């Protein structure tokens, strides 16, 4: 079982690929990036649900504001293919 006090490498890689290359993520991470709490919770596995506050904090504090926060921002970031 993964450590619920740390974000897994696979989640961090999905975030990094989104930021750097505008790559599409899985449905859970896409919902998190779009700031859609209800969908994020509905699509999370048990590990991701436990660390959802850590993921949100990481995104808020470590990636550009232009690439998360709403569906429109995420879509625009993907269209421009990230950084």
Does 53 reside within a domain?
yes
What is the residue range of 30's domain? 9-80
pTM here is 0.92
pLDDT digits (tens, 9 = 90+) for 23-46: 999 999 999 999 999 999 999 999
Helical H segments across 1-83, by residue range = 9-21, 27-33, 37-43, 46-62, 71-80
pLDDT of residue 1: 54
Does 2 reside within a domain?
no
Does 3 reside within a domain?
no
Count of domains in the chain? 1
pLDDT of residue 2: 64
Q: What is the mean pLDDT of each run of 10 residues along the chain (83 residues)?
A: 80 97 96 98 97 97 97 97 89
pLDDT of residue 5: 75
């Amino acid at each position: 079982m993964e450590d619920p006090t740390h974000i897994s490498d696979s989640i961090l890689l999905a975030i990094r690929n989104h930021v750097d290359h505008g790559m599409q993520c899985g449905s859970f991470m896409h919902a998190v990036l779009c700031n859609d709490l209800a969908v994020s919770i509905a699509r999370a596995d048990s590990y991701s649900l436990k660390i959802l506050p850590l993921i949100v904090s990481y995104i808020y504090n470590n990636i550009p504001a232009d690439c998360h926060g709403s569906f429109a921002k995420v879509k625009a970031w993907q269209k421009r293919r990230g950084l």
